[in-house]
Amino acid sequence: MGLSIVKPHVKPQPLQSGSLSFASTKMTAMSNQSCPHNQAMSCGDCRMKSLCLPLALEIEDVEKLDKIVQRGRPFQKDEYIYRSGDKFHSIFAVRSGAIKAFTADDEGVEQVTGFYLPGEVFGMDGIAHTDHISSAVSLETSSVCEIPFHRLEELSITLPSLQRHFFKLMSQEITNDQHLATLLSKNSADERVATLLISISARNAKRNLSEQRFRLPMSRADIGNYMGLTVETVSRVFSRFQKQQLLQVDKKEIEILDMDGLKELANI
Amino acid sequence: MGLSIVKPHVKPQPLQSGSLSFASTKMTAMSNQSCPHNQAMSCGDCRMKSLCLPLALEIEDVEKLDKIVQRGRPFQKDEYIYRSGDKFHSIFAVRSGAIKAFTADDEGVEQVTGFYLPGEVFGMDGIAHTDHISSAVSLETSSVCEIPFHRLEELSITLPSLQRHFFKLMSQEITNDQHLATLLSKNSADERVATLLISISARNAKRNLSEQRFRLPMSRADIGNYMGLTVETVSRVFSRFQKQQLLQVDKKEIEILDMDGLKELANI
DNA sequence: CGACGCGTTGAATGTTGTCAAACCGAGTGG
DNA sequence: CCACTCGGTTTGACAACATTCAACGCGTCG
């Protein structure tokens, strides 16, 4: 899910040796990896593998996982990956684009439960139920890997490191959600928005993108919904941040001018 | 906790939470199950097994699980089960009493992340990390089962239904946390408190305890912290509910007078 | 062009937090 | 036995922050 502001001392990002060293290498333009929406890409070749794959997996294990992963055509903006009420049978990993997960209460009022960026896994809340209890839509053209859950369960039995990895992924989702709850219960509008921006910035950095300049894939309404604020409040916070020289905002384009100031606001 | 300390002169002694309800079950007095804090109890004999064990487990499988479960002496009120920063090696199931899980931010301000009642599993947020990132304390005299996580992982490989069960447990925790986030982001103080009361009532019902009358194991401060409210607000809500004939409140003793009204408030 | 979605800004309202005081029961020590 | 403290809880008065309601700007698309 969303807010993963990893505190320094917890940060377990051991730049893995061996198999996935090429995460930082430059792609050649004509390589079949050049298009992030490419359906044919395998797990072993995926730029995101260091984010969504268990670091411990051997090459042949990655191939086994690869065999059960399904890659469909990209989703267009506003297309559903799954809907609340659909039968649950898969979890998903974002390969490109951005995904919004949300629930709807009895009156149909939407509640955004998370934004997922490339390398992140979503749909795990469906595991406890036979049906999905949330929906997921694409916020922009996105490609996702679909991982049939029963296949994953089977494979986890023969690949202990995969089992461990998925336990960890789910645990991470739990702590993320708890962070969100903490944020909502304790922090002001300014702090919430600052935290979201820092989170997105940090997640961009993990993908070797700029942490200063990026484009928000979601609307102000989505941000407000997620952070427990109204659109108006979100808009005001952006204006205020701009006035305080913390940000440069142009619609969805964000430039963080004062990272330290923003982090201070977000209590990092 | 509540059971041992029988207050000398309390008015309408409510059906006690947790342990006392034993009186109503068909246990023989000399059975080793008569004390809910009994260390010797096995999973197969545990009243909570239908809540915390995978229903699909065969008897011999339960015995295997039983072998890895550790049962220590009961925890007294305010005793820590684990502390933030402790090395993570186990998850826990509540057998009796009540547990509060919480994190602390850099300034040491507490944030309650959950209350756990008998039959419920906690500590799963530590799985993604090498250390616990939250703490857990006993709110009253409580006994817990400790399940070494690496043993559980091993066993999960030979018992697929156990693996599935723990995937589901974690997924359930995710959806719980998301519900909490939704509650915090969308609902008023009244709605939040009503929701908590309904939740506790329902969890009591699962354990065959009264859903109308129960004792809250946590303080007003804990409730407020958990629900993103101040103590004062929580107190006012209780007073208001009482004035509206929804509740009868006597300190921590709660009687729900108008279940439907309360559920309506909680949007159930 | 006009309608619409999205974002911004302003003014008024209100729920909740803050500060302060007091209560109550339990435990302690004179 | 009483006075005392202490933690947890309750209540009141006031202020603050976010919401609500309203209007407007801007770009896109029919």
Block mean pLDDT (10 aa), chain B, length 268: 30 32 37 56 83 79 91 91 95 95 90 96 94 96 94 93 91 95 96 98 94 96 98 97 94 95 92
Assess whether B164 (CB) lies less than 7 A from strand C: no
Q: Residue A225 pLDDT more than 90?
A: yes
Residue of A nearest to B223 (CA): A185
Residue whose tokens read 């301000």: B109
Contact between residue B255 and residue B247 where contact means Cβ atoms under 8 Å apart: yes
Position B60 scores a pLDDT of 87
* pLDDT number for residue A27: 39
Mean pLDDT (whole number) for A137-152: 95
Q: What is the pLDDT of residues A23-53, one digit of tens each?
A: 333 334 444 445 656 666 788 888 888 888 7
pLDDT at A238 over 90: yes
Helices (H) and strands (E) in chain A, counts: 8, 11
**Least Cα separation, residue A61 to chain B (angstroms):** 16
Compute how many other C-beta atoms are within 10 angstroms of the C-beta atom of residue B220. 19
Instruction: Please check whether the two domains, B22-165 and B186-265, share a CATH topology.
Output: no
Has residue A148 got a pLDDT over 60?
Answer: yes
Mean residue pLDDT of chain A comes to 86
Which residue of B149, B177, B188 is the best one to mutate when testing the A interface, meaning the one whose CB has the most A CBs within 10 A?
B177
What is residue A39's predicted lDDT score, i.e. its pLDDT? 66
Beta-bridge partners for B129 = none
Residue A44 is predicted with a pLDDT of 86
Binned at pLDDT 50, 70 and 90, residue A107 comes out as confident
Q: Which residue type does B155 have?
A: L
Q: Which of B125, B172, B180 sits opposite A171 (nearest CB)?
A: B125
Please count the other Cβ atoms lying within 10 Å of the Cβ belonging to residue B208.
11
Q: Which of the four pLDDT bands, split at 50, 70 and 90, describes residue A11?
A: very low
Q: Which nucleotides of C are covered by protein (CB under 7 A)?
A: 6-11, 15-20, 26
Q: What is the CATH number of domain A186-265?
A: 1.10.10.10
Q: Are strands B70-71 and B143-148 parallel, antiparallel or unpaired?
A: antiparallel
Mean pLDDT of the region A90-111: 93
Is the CB of residue A199 inside 7 Å of nucleic acid strand D? no
Residue in the block written with tokens 């857990």: B136
CB contact under 8 A, A175 and B133: yes
CA distance A152 to A150: 5
Nearest to A182 among B103, B130, B160 (CB): B103
Q: What is the pLDDT of residues B3-41, one digit of tens each?
A: 232 333 333 333 333 333 333 333 344 444 455 566 667
Of A128, A169, A186, the CB nearest to B168: A128
**Of B102, B127, B106, which is closest to residue B116 (Cα–Cα)?**
B102
On whether any CB of chain A is under 8 Å from the CB of B55, the answer is: no
Task: Quote the strand ranges of chain B, DSSP E.
Answer: 70-71, 80-82, 90-96, 99-104, 110-116, 121-122, 135-138, 143-148, 213-215, 247-250, 253-256
Who wins on pLDDT, B51 or A91? A91
In chain B, which residues have their Cβ closer than 8 Å to the Cβ of A184?
181, 184-185, 228
**With an 8 Å Cβ cutoff, are A182 and B225 in contact?**
no
Size of interface A-B (CB pairs under 8 A): 131
> Is A168's pLDDT higher than 50?
yes
For residue A67, what pLDDT is reported? 92
pLDDT of residue B173: 93
Q: Does the CB of A232 sit below 7 A from strand D?
A: yes
At position A199, the amino acid (one-letter code) is S
So what's the pLDDT on residue A36? 59
**Is residue A231 over pLDDT 90?**
yes
Question: Domain-by-domain residue ranges, chain B?
Answer: 22-165, 186-265
- Cβ(B81)–Cβ(B136) below 8 Å: yes
> Closest by alpha carbon to B209, among B134, B119, B130?
B119
Crossing angle between the packed helical segments A189-206 and A231-243, to the nearest 10 degrees: 80
pLDDT for the residue numbered A194 = 98
Contacts of B111 (CB under 8 A, 6+ apart): A181, A182, A185, A186, B102, B103, B104, B105, B225
Fold entry, domain B22-165: Jelly Rolls (2.60.120)
Give the closest of B127, B156, B267 to A105, CB-based.
Answer: B267
| Whether A249 contacts chain B with CB within 8 A | no
The encoded tokens of residue A178 equal 């708890």
Whole-number Å distance between alpha carbons of A116 and A134: 14
> Looking at the complex, does the CB of residue B167 fall below 8 Å from at least one CB of chain A?
yes
- Tell me what pLDDT residue A21 has: 31
Under DSSP, the state recorded for B218 is S
> Does residue B174 belong to the interface with chain A, where contact is any CB pair within 8 Å?
yes
Task: Kindly determine whether the C-beta of residue B22 is less than 7 Å away from any atom of nucleic acid strand D.
Answer: no
What is the secondary structure of A87-137 as a DSSP string? BP-EEEEEEES-EEEEEE-TT--EEEEEEE-TT-EE-GGGTTSSB-SSEEE
Question: Which B residues 199-238 have CB within 7 Å of strand D?
Answer: 219-221, 231-232, 234-236, 238
